[in-house]
Chain A
Amino acid sequence: MTINEAHEAGVVVVSPQGRIDSTTSAILERHLQGVAAAGQTRVVVDFTGVDYISSAGLRVLLALAKRGRDQKGRVALFGMNDSVRQVFELAGFVALFTIAPSRADAIHSAMA
């Protein structure tokens, strides 16, 4: 897995590429922990390069949502394909996140 990171208007946009499953989720987890350690609390996760996500990846995102809650930060997601969206729905994760229709909307939401 490759993860790109961009900074825009005080928001960190994290873009994982490929699968987020039990074989890769630790990489995403470490990256997001680094973002938190740097004091960044406004985080957007860009799913446009994500093929699928399994529960190992959901676990990492739940930790991100909990940190966001504790640190009064903002988390927004965008760019999910149908498979990723379906996994979020089946897991009841849609209610835990702001899922924005575009990158600009996600950044706007994380800035608010």
Chain B
Amino acid sequence: MPEVNLHRVTVTASSDGIRQTLNEFEQFCGAQGLSDDVRRRFLVALDEILSNVARHGSPPHVLVQVDFKVAGNTVTVIVEDEAVPFNLLDAPSPDTSSPVEQRKAGGVGIELVRTLVESVRYEHTGGRNRLTLTDRTSRPADHS
């Protein structure tokens, strides 16, 4: 059986809550010896997911529970909130090609969640939104 290391953070969907979660994740990565590449992929994804809940989640300042887990060579981050059901994976793809005058940044964050982390799964279960993000603890040097 591989060793499993788990860390849980419960915060409000707010700027302070996001900051606290990101700081805890940084510490978790340091303790687990995760690469900068993997650490940064998850930090961006976490910021996008949590800031989305903070902006659009109803009720405001809903509680969010975040689990970080390393088992074998897999990193898993699970984000659960009790806001109204919302599957961010259903959001439309952003505009990534129009010139600067017409460009809008909307939808870019969700696209980053979908593409930076190897696997993202959404469920609505027990009255909660649950996003499960998984990736390998290390990737080959080139990420093309």
Residues of A within 8 A of B (CB): 19, 21-23, 51-56, 58-59, 62, 65-66, 69, 81-83, 86-87, 90-92, 95-96
Q: Is the interface of A mostly helix, strand, loop or mixed?
A: helix
CA distance A97 to B109 in the complex (A): 19
Report, nearest first, the 8 A-B pairs whose CB atoms are least far apart.
Answer: A92-B96, A55-B109, A22-B51, A83-B40, A21-B47, A52-B40, A54-B47, A59-B105
Q: Is the CB of B112 within 8 A of A91?
A: yes
Assess A96 versus B100: contact at CB under 8 Å? Given A86-B143, A91-B94: yes
Residues in chain A near residue B51, CB distance under 8 A: 21-22, 54, 56
Binding site for A on B (CB under 8 A): 15, 18-19, 22, 36-37, 40-41, 43-44, 47-48, 50-51, 54, 94-97, 100-101, 103, 105, 108-109, 111-112, 115-116, 143
Dominant secondary structure of chain B at its interface with chain A: helix
- Cβ contact of A82, chosen from B19, B37, B95, B96, cutoff 8 A: B37
Of A19, A59, A91, chain B has the most CB atoms within 10 Å of the CB of A91
Shortest distance from the beta carbon of B13 to any chain A beta carbon, whole Å: 11
User: Is the beta-carbon distance between B48 and A55 smaller than 8 angstroms?
Assistant: yes
Chain B residues, CB < 8 A from A69: 100-101
Total A-B Cβ pairs within 8 A: 82
How many Å lie between the Cα of A59 and that of B94 in the bound state? 13
Residue numbers in B under 8 Å from A22 (CB-CB): 15, 18, 47, 50-51, 54
- Select from chain B the residue with minimum beta-carbon distance to A94: B96
- Pair A58/B105 contact, Cβ less than 8 Å: yes
Q: Are B108 and A52 in contact (CB under 8 A)?
A: no
Q: CB-nearest residue of chain B relative to A21?
A: B47
The answer on a CB contact under 8 Å between B44 and A87 is: yes
Give CA–CA (A46, B46) in the complex, Å: 24
CB pair B105–A23 under 8 Å, yes or no, is no
Q: A54-B109, A55-B105, A91-B94 are in contact. Are A82 and B143 (CB under 8 A)?
A: yes
Query: Smallest Cβ distance from A66 to chain B, in angstroms?
Result: 6
Q: In the complex, which residues of chain A have a beta carbon less than 8 angstroms from the beta carbon of B40?
A: 51-52, 83
Which residue from A19, A66, A95 sits with its C-beta under 8 Å from B43? A19
Q: State the Cβ distance, B49 to closest chain A Cβ, in Å.
A: 10
Contact B97 A92 (CB under 8 A): yes
